[in-house]
Structure 1
Amino acid sequence: MSNDLIVMDNSIVTSAYNLTLNEQRLIYCALKQIPKGVPLDPETAFYITRDDFLAFGVNPDTVAREIRHATTQLLKKTIVVPREDGDLEFQWLSEVLRVDRTAEQRLREKYPNPEDHRKYLHGLRTYNLLDSLPNRRDDDNIVARIVFHKRIVPLLSDLRASFTQFALADVTEFSSIYTFRIYQLLMQYKSTGYVKISLDDLRFMLVLFDKYPLVADLKRWVVETAVNEINEKSPYKVKYEMLKKGRKFTHLELKFKLKESAKKLIAERDPNTIDWVNGQTDNEAQQTKVPSWQTKGLSDAQIKKIGVYTKEFIDANSSKIAPNDRRDYPEIFEEWKLQLKDPKTVKSFYKVQELLERTRNI
């Protein structure tokens, strides 16, 4: 089990939020600490250290100040999660403690006698220092202590389906918040190597509002910035295209694949290493029985389940739609039903298994 694996519900990836680089880094530093495959107590605290931020290349002379500033600002920030019944908005954090390095020493001076030990411990609890003492006696590495908002915890913990994951090491060199967000989007579709997103949805998730109203500016300052940085600093190689309907640009298409160097590293992995997601080794996973729909086609009930996410399903398979097709989503989905029932054609569709598993957990 890797302690630097970032895992989040897919809904976070396409949610609307506007973070700075350091605020995004702060969240990742906490996410890597979340136990994988077990529920998380909503009151769980996560300690952010100087070393956490130094791994992102932050200046050692200013790292503590940058962490404290990021916690101050993130406490004010919200995330908007689109749902079937509307947009749900809540804060990222419920509380922040910016650790005072002198607090423990002041308490020792205030209660120097053994008979005052009870008062000393009470003081530690008051300042939330008791559980951090073993980590802090030798240095001042811990800078802040954060607790996630209770509404976001289920989207970060004990995820069994419909989640996005990637290694923290893949993103530590990114210097643009747009790169972080678009990389997360790619990792949501890692199994297909293909993403198509409307420019309206892209603007929504990046909270651009009226920023970069010209597509040329959106392309230059957002898309190309992210794609170039992903190509340079991540394990993936990305190509993109801005798609038109008529004379208007409407969608961004991203195609990506692992670089040869990254493939080599994966090939060298021990096939008997247990994957925390499915509890199997690579050898065992290869012997696992394929889902029945891949050999028999989808049933009417399964098609109905996928139909709950008609727009998302069609967008994931937009390559099957002619550029001049003007039909609405329900009409296209209705036409696809026969192909979804046919075992010869159903496997050509993306995102089938993910949506079937998602609906089981509603």
Structure 2
Amino acid sequence: MHDAQIYKANALIEASYRLSIYEQRVVLACISKVRRDEPLTDQKLYRVSAQEIAEMSGTQIGTAYQNLKAASERLFERRVSLHASPNGDGKVKVRLTRWVQTIEYDEGGGAVSLRFGTDMVPYLSQLTEQFTRYALADIAKMTSAHAVRLYELLAQWRGTGERVVSIDWLREAFQLEDRYPNIRDFKRWVVEPAIKQVNEHSPLWVKWEQRKTGRRVTHLTFTFGEKAKATPQKARKEKAKGNSGAPLRNTVGALYGIPRAVIESKARPGEGYEDTALRLLSEAKQPARG
């Protein structure tokens, strides 16, 4: 499952539902087994074992085994509220449905097989434009279900480097109901742990700040981008010996959402890509002086 990919319609990314981290692992592991060259149907069973869950999450096999059955049983009862059609081609009424229609637990084999609900199939297949893809490994080590959801919301807007969401919408999407009504508790138990895990375990770095409407905190702004890939130590030493003060010439791709051509043009003598990018981000946030 090392190179397994997750495909979800953006409408499902933004749907309202609540799954525990164990339920998330089961669902995502099964989604990753959907072959892109074969149609997903509501007739096929997708199987995942406790061994696979343990390997992908870095947990003990015994722990994975204990949680697998309980998670699969709860998953059968879980519902999801969908607010848009799979590819955004026309609005739909709010659709309340279930993730799965069948769960089979193999006691001796320590594995679970599930059949996705009929209404869920279009949100996991038949995807043309409005969908999000990411690697299962990106979230495999997370232990917070909120972190998985936050990562998906950021991955959906991966090319922009910023996403602003209202707290009311986020509470609805995460189905927090009456939990954490105080903004301090909401930040302490939902936002901050999710941010920490996205930064620790995913390919993205993320920062956040709150925004007020009047005196009330109403929105969160997430600024994010791809983490800089580690440069081999030998290459770093050679660069340090021969290129100190030389202009940055790699113009492929972007760092923290900033095109490398822009980073190169704004770099100061001896300043690396990452330092330049972070400085530009900081400067962009500062209010203009009149």
What's the TM-score bracket when you normalise by the shorter of the two chains?
Answer: 0.7 to 0.9
Query: Residues 176 and 226 of structure 1 are in contact (CA less than 8 Å); yes or no, is this contact kept in structure 2?
Result: yes
Query: Residues 163 and 223 of structure 2 are in contact (CA less than 8 Å); yes or no, is this contact kept in structure 1?
Result: yes
Match of 1:228 in 2: 196
**CA 97–57 in structure 1, closer or farther in 2 if over 3 Å, else same:** same
Match of 1:89 in 2: 96
Match of 1:21 in 2: 21
Identity, in percent, stands at 29
Q: TM-score, normalised by structure 2?
A: 0.73
Shift of 1:69: 1.1
**CA 210–158 in structure 1, closer or farther in 2 if over 3 Å, else same:** same
String of CA shifts for 1:114-165, please: whole Å, max 9, x gaps. Answer: xxxxxxxxxxxxxxxxxxxxxxxxxx3x511110001001100131110011
SS at match of 1:218: helix
**Larger mean Cα displacement after TM superposition, 92-101 or 22-31:** 92-101
**CA 174–262 in structure 1, closer or farther in 2 if over 3 Å, else same:** farther
Match of 1:136 in 2: none
Shift of 1:259: 0.9
Distance in 2 (CA, whole Å) between partners of 1:146 and 1:81 is: 20
Give 1:205-354 correspondences, 5 Å limit.
205-261=173-229
Match of 2:255 in 1: none
- Tell me which stretches of 4 or more aligned residues in structure 1 moved more than 2 Å: 62-65, 83-86
Query: Residues 3 and 137 of structure 2 are in contact (CA less than 8 Å); yes or no, is this contact kept in structure 1?
Result: no
Number of residue-to-residue matches in the alignment: 225
Shift of 1:59: 2.4
Distance in 2 (CA, whole Å) between partners of 1:262 and 1:158 is: 36
Q: TM-score, normalised by structure 1?
A: 0.59
Match of 1:144 in 2: 112
**CA 85–169 in structure 1, closer or farther in 2 if over 3 Å, else same:** closer
Shift of 1:262: 6.9
SS at match of 2:160: coil
Match of 2:7 in 1: 7
Distance in 2 (CA, whole Å) between partners of 1:58 and 1:228 is: 19
Match of 2:253 in 1: none
CA RMSD of aligned residues (A): 1.9
Distance in 2 (CA, whole Å) between partners of 1:49 and 1:42 is: 20
Query: Residues 17 and 78 of structure 1 are in contact (CA less than 8 Å); yes or no, is this contact kept in structure 2?
Result: yes
Query: Which structure 1 segments of 5+ residues have no match?
Result: 102-139, 265-362
Match of 2:161 in 1: 193
Q: Does 1:167 align with 2:126?
A: no
Structure showing greater radius of gyration is 1
Shift of 1:78: 0.4
String of CA shifts for 1:311-335, please: whole Å, max 9, x gaps. Answer: xxxxxxxxxxxxxxxxxxxxxxxxx
Query: Which structure 2 segments of 5+ residues have no match?
Result: 85-90, 233-290
Distance in 1 (CA, whole Å) between partners of 2:187 and 2:136 is: 26
Q: Which amino acid aligns with 2:151?
A: Y
Query: Residues 51 and 61 of structure 2 are in contact (CA less than 8 Å); yes or no, is this contact kept in structure 1?
Result: no
Q: Which amino acid aligns with 1:168?
A: L
Query: Residues 35 and 157 of structure 1 are in contact (CA less than 8 Å); yes or no, is this contact kept in structure 2?
Result: no
Match of 1:153 in 2: 121
Q: Does 1:203 align with 2:171?
A: yes
Shift of 1:179: 0.2
Q: Does 1:98 align with 2:99?
A: no
